[in-house]
Chain A
Amino acid sequence: MFRYLVRRLAEAIVTLFGVAVLVFIVMRVLPGDEVTARLGIETGALTDTQRHSLERYYGIDQPLFRQFFSWLGSVLTGNFGISVTSGQPVRRLIAEALPVTIELAILATTLGALVGVGIGVFAASRVDRPGDVVGQGFGLLGLGIPNFIVGSTIIAVLATNFSYFPSAARYVGFFESPVENVQQQFWPAVTLALGLAAAVMRTTRSAFLEANSQDFVRTAKGKGLTPRRIRWRHVLHNSSIPIVTIVGIQFGYLMGGTVIIEEIFALPGMGRLVLTGIAQREYAVVQSSVLVIAALFVVINLAVDLIYVRIDPRVKLT
């Protein structure tokens, strides 16, 4: 177990180093740099000397590998750099944006997992009967409708029928006013939960059918347990590994996958931070944020693997 953890952590570090290299390269490939980010079209009016001194000021006149290691070095000491356009430390920007995205991801995943497992078990215990067809139809629709269509539709319906604009107000943090905060997070979470529920439903259904055909189910029936108890205690427990996997994958995916929903509902989360960062060539903002998102993704994946051992003692991590 200990050796397993050490190996996984080493792998994680290598992966994150690769992500750091990749995001660094991608940002340098983008046309424009921090000088154009700061000055916009006025960059054209700069004399060569002015331009050079600005480049020296931002450190982008250094050789690329030195820029890379000086950025990575400061990230390791907790200094994520400074945002050129807002003048704020990137660490503060991330500290403000990260809770928004994590809260959204937790709400969406919880909602999606509950609904998905519920419908999945419902459909699987009625194989090929009308209930199953309805459940599977839900699964297909949920996967087929892109979340930006769901989000846009929700906004349009709320606005025209209830004169309610979920994205109009300034974002309120959870600790500022929990009620208002959850109101603002609710509709985006529902939007993301729909696709998630569909994926969870499909996995639950097939895992449930797989487990349902095993001998222990017959034994449980023979013992005279009620069908409901067999379904929810015995079969569901034995089909939980694929379900936990899909929920974990989806949760990890949401760390960087909420961009469009944040954009539609005007939530100031990580996705929007990176999106505007890319648009404004904010090297420090994009590089550090993407690294944080990737780190969360890697940690969540590791956590999912560790949960397997809790669910199924037969699983040996090697």
Chain B
Amino acid sequence: MTVVVDTTVEAAPLAVGRGRIRRLLSSPTGVVGLAIVIVLAVISILAALGLTPHPPLEQNPPERFAAPSTSHLVGTDQFGRDVLSRVMEGVLASLRISVVAVAIAATIGSAAGIAAGFFGGWTDRAVGLVTNIMFAFPAILLALAVVTALGRGWMNTVIAIAVVYTPIFVRVARGPVLTVRELDFVKAGRVLGFGRPRLLIRHVLPNVTAPIVVQVALALSWAILTESALSFLGLGTQPPAPSLGLMVSEGRTLVSQGWWLMAAPASAIVVSVIGLNLIGDGLRDALDPTRSQRR
């Protein structure tokens, strides 16, 4: 039996390093997740460049409810529109909203959480209170209210989803800061007379990124779920622009005329969510030292 000794000394246990990325790629879940997300990204880029098999909005009445064939790989819908093209466009819409929403939530939430953990005292109490309130407020109803208040449009859906997921990032970021700020290297920095901004940005921040990175992957998958749920209820992307949730909603009443109308957008949602979840799991295993030892 050979014993592999890891000779690299990690600066701190929670940092994202290059070795960790390699470890992500060595776990099957991480690789599958990454592959799925790359495929989704390619689909979105193609859709953004207008390289769908057919224009997603082009109606073709004689070909209504056409079954999957070589000219329409996933068939057509009640207006004779190509379902594959619409799903591709829907994936783009869904990813765009989720990515922007999670970026906002992660930035604001992590900043608030890190500040709360680092400064403690009143900052911590105020942030904690706002977080508790937002958690107690029913999430989907909060998103609904935000969308209703702001009106429809993709940026408003983004804000609604960002509002819902910000408190999660506050909690995820605050916890590790409490540990890190008591570690010796931070104390040393304090003794050396480093200012608070320098301590915070140069010493604390790099050491709490790992849980936030994991959370970003998971939050992206939930954001896709929430986005599709909102558009399922008719509060997200508006017709005729394609959106996966709305396609499922319309498809379910037309299942008897064409199963693909519901199956195609539904599988796009499921595959996206699972792909991001797998990356999240893979990252968690790769970045969490206590877990990696077990493997």
Residues of A within 8 A of B (CB): 11, 14-16, 18-19, 22-23, 26-27, 29-31, 140-141, 143-146, 148-149, 152-153, 155-156, 160, 253, 255-257, 259-260, 263, 271, 274-275, 278-279, 290, 293-294, 297-298
B140 in contact with A278 (CB, 8 Å): no
- B255 contacts the other chain (CB 8 A): yes
6 additional contacts, CB 8 Å, given A11-B132, A152-B252? A22-B137, A145-B273, A146-B225, A256-B140, A278-B144, A278-B148
B262 neighbours in A (Cβ, 8 Å)? 152-153, 156
A146 in contact with B136 (CB, 8 Å): no
Bound complex: CA A140 to CA B273 (Å): 9
By beta carbon, the residue of chain A nearest B273 is: A144
Contact with A along B128-157 (1 / 0, CB 8 A): 011011111111111011101100000000
> Chain B's nearest CB lies how many Å from the CB of A293?
5
9 pairs, CB–CB < 8 Å, chain A vs chain B: A16-B136, A144-B221, A144-B274, A146-B269, A148-B248, A152-B262, A263-B233, A275-B144, A290-B137
Q: Please report which residues of chain B, range 107-141, place their CB below 8 angstroms from some CB of chain A when the two chains form the complex.
A: 129-130, 132-141
- How large, as a class, is the contact surface on chain B? 35 or more
- With A290-B138, A290-B141 already in contact, the answer to whether A143 and B256 are too (CB < 8 A) is no
- B237 contacts the other chain (CB 8 A): no
- B183 contacts the other chain (CB 8 A): no
B273 in contact with A143 (CB, 8 Å): yes
B270 in contact with A145 (CB, 8 Å): yes
Residues of B within 8 A of A (CB): 129-130, 132-142, 144-146, 148-149, 221, 225, 228-229, 232-233, 245, 248-249, 252, 255-256, 262, 266, 269-271, 273-274, 277-278
B270 in contact with A144 (CB, 8 Å): yes
Bound complex: CA A86 to CA B252 (Å): 31
A29 neighbours in B (Cβ, 8 Å)? 149
- With A30-B149, A141-B274, A144-B274 already in contact, the answer to whether A15 and B129 are too (CB < 8 A) is yes
> Chain A's nearest CB lies how many Å from the CB of B161?
14
Bound complex: CA A253 to CA B256 (Å): 34
Q: Which of A23, A160, A256, A271 sits near B256, CB closer than 8 Å?
A: A160
> Chain B's nearest CB lies how many Å from the CB of A15?
5
- With A149-B269, A278-B148 already in contact, the answer to whether A19 and B139 are too (CB < 8 A) is no
* Residue of A144, A153, A260, A263 most packed against chain B (CB within 10 A): A144
Bound complex: CA A156 to CA B129 (Å): 44
A144 neighbours in B (Cβ, 8 Å)? 221, 270-271, 273-274, 277
Which 6 A-B pairs rank lowest in CB-CB distance, beginning with the nearest?
A: A256-B138, A18-B133, A144-B274, A152-B252, A294-B136, A144-B273
Q: Which of A19, A26, A293 sits near B133, CB closer than 8 Å?
A: A19
A30 in contact with B141 (CB, 8 Å): no
A156 neighbours in B (Cβ, 8 Å)? 252, 255, 262
SS class of chain B's interface: helix, strand, loop or mixed? Answer: helix
A-B contact count (CB 8 A): 119
SS class of chain A's interface: helix, strand, loop or mixed? Answer: helix
A18 in contact with B130 (CB, 8 Å): yes
A253 neighbours in B (Cβ, 8 Å)? 139
A146 in contact with B129 (CB, 8 Å): no
> Chain A's nearest CB lies how many Å from the CB of B112?
15
A15 in contact with B269 (CB, 8 Å): no
Bound complex: CA A278 to CA B149 (Å): 10
> Chain A's nearest CB lies how many Å from the CB of B110?
21
B252 neighbours in A (Cβ, 8 Å)? 152, 155-156
By beta carbon, the residue of chain A nearest B252 is: A152
By beta carbon, the residue of chain A nearest B276 is: A144
B271 neighbours in A (Cβ, 8 Å)? 144
A279 neighbours in B (Cβ, 8 Å)? 148
B136 in contact with A297 (CB, 8 Å): yes
A15 in contact with B149 (CB, 8 Å): no
B269 neighbours in A (Cβ, 8 Å)? 146, 149
Bound complex: CA A275 to CA B143 (Å): 11
Bound complex: CA A160 to CA B149 (Å): 39
Bound complex: CA A27 to CA B146 (Å): 10
A22 neighbours in B (Cβ, 8 Å)? 133-134, 137
By beta carbon, the residue of chain A nearest B147 is: A278
B141 in contact with A260 (CB, 8 Å): no
> Chain A's nearest CB lies how many Å from the CB of B15?
23
Bound complex: CA A132 to CA B271 (Å): 21
> Chain A's nearest CB lies how many Å from the CB of B52?
23
> Chain A's nearest CB lies how many Å from the CB of B127?
13
